[in-house]
Structure 1
Amino acid sequence: MINDSIFGEIEYDYIWSRNSKINFLNKEVDIMLIIAGEDDGKFEGGQYEAYQVLINYWNSIQKTLLKPILDYYKERRKELGYDIEFNEYYPEINSTKELLNYITLVGIKVPYANIYGGRSIGISFDCTWDEENGVGVRLNNEQVIEVGYQDIAI
């Protein structure tokens, strides 16, 4: 365990992590903060920068996550044919406000710096429609560049 000046008190068990709390759309939620790194506890400057920018602009960044997740959900629902045939796990969701009833923020991942050519962050959600895979959002320079299963955020 180390106490990093930016990431706080983190523990190494093949990954650096800590349980944390964050405000997500006016609700405090418990998340897992995960930081890519070797067991020596030395992190790259770009990792610190990506995390600090995320935290500093979290109030505006979090609002940009919902529309891409809703678009992803609608696409998956259509691919599976549930826009035509009823499926209780894939109900019709028409707004980002409705979407909040089906997703839960569970993690933030800080990958190695410049892995995607900028400040990279992964955001993980549990979701009711796919409990096994969840939903992951990949940010690059604070912009959503990909939405998919949770593993894209790791």
Structure 2
Amino acid sequence: MSNAEEIIDKIDTYLSKSSPKTFNPSQEELLNFIETHWAMADDEKYNLYFSSIIIGRMINEYVQLKDSKNLARWMEMDDLHYKSAQHPNYFRNWYKGTKFFDAGNEEKALQYFQLSYNENPDHIFKTNSSYSQFFNQYLDEPRILPEIIKKNEETYFQMALPYWQKFFKEDEDQLEFNFIDDDEEILYEPVNELQRAALNYFLENQEMMLKSMLTALLEKYPELQDQYEYNEEDKPFFMPNITSIEGFCNLLTQSQCYVMNVYKNDFPYFGFSFGCSWDSEHDLGFITYKDRVVEIGDAVLAFDTYTAENDLENYKGNN
């Protein structure tokens, strides 16, 4: 009977529980754990989807270390995975070339770019990149390529929230703000004075609003623990038992705020998303009106204006 699924699940759990706040292995420890357990798994691992994610992680780790020997070894394992057969050889060779180039091994990169070029001369030039610029200089008849121009990064609206930073122990982090206009477009600056004024309210009441969300989450938390069903070994890393909102400081990370286009008494609804230890894929989301929590769900809830509109129509309380 194959042991691959059980061992690959162990690697998945190890990677999932890795967090700068709760479990932060060194790069050496991470590599040793994966190398050891990967070697224990039989060849059925090459037929498991998540194995491709592990392989990709290891390739990138060795690229970062500029370790061409181990990079080549994991590239060979990548070739054995079933997903590799879904790509033509020219693409596979181009991909290998990019990884060796990023690892600083230009000789090996040139070798794979040449193999890709021999089979499909146009693929490497589909995008004007440092890879195509590098390879082009070795052609007998170089192509005329435009100069690579780095575009300015999008300007995001961010604010430092002293109470939030202190609570989450994230002194350098800032909360990123998004603003939803009447066409449901997400923009990076307030679309009107109502949204701008709401930011001032939020800044002045940041402690109250965070505590309101976490108090509501604490009430819902036992239900979420039952839903996720972590075993006793994994539970301390992902969803430990907590008795106060302070217990969330190591389980959550601040992420995004959405100032919505739904208004009550000229004040917009807010959506918030947080990274959370128990669901790194879907994360955690809130919709609030001032300090009242409307709903808790996953991260996509944070920009769900329908939920805000439904609350506006049906909520009969004063706030």
Length-normalised TM-score, structure 1: 0.72
Q: Is the 8 A contact 1:25 1:62 kept in 2?
A: no
Structure with more contact order per residue of length (Cα contacts < 8 Å, sep ≥ 6): 1
Larger radius of gyration: 2
Q: Which deviates the most, 140-149 or 70-79?
A: 70-79
Larger strand share, 1 or 2: 1
Superposed CA deviations along residues 117-139 of structure 1, whole A, max 9, x for unmatched, are: 95311121101111111111111
Q: Where do 1:7-18 residues align within 5 Å?
A: 17-18=156-157
Say if 2:241 is the partner of 1:92: yes
Q: Which of 160, 171, 179 matches 1:35?
A: 179
Structure 2 gaps, min length 5? 1-153, 304-319
Q: Is the 8 A contact 2:161 2:203 kept in 1?
A: no
Q: Which deviates the most, 136-145 or 16-25?
A: 16-25
Identify the residue that residue 130 of structure 1 maps to in structure 2: 279
Structure 1 gaps, min length 5? 1-12
Larger helix share, 1 or 2: 2
Say if 2:172 is the partner of 1:22: no
User: Aligned-pair distance for 1:140?
Assistant: 1.1
Letter paired with 1:21: A
Q: Which of 197, 204, 225 matches 1:56?
A: 204
Length-normalised TM-score, structure 2: 0.38
d(CA) in 2 for partners of 1:149, 1:51: 23
Kindly tell me the number of residue pairs found equivalent between the two proteins: 138
User: Percent identity among equivalent residues?
Assistant: 21
Q: Which of 123, 137, 142 matches 2:291?
A: 142
Over 3 Å counting, the alpha-carbon distance change for 1:92 and 1:50 in structure 2 is same
Superposed CA deviations along residues 22-65 of structure 1, whole A, max 9, x for unmatched, are: 220625432211111357x7723432333232122223222222
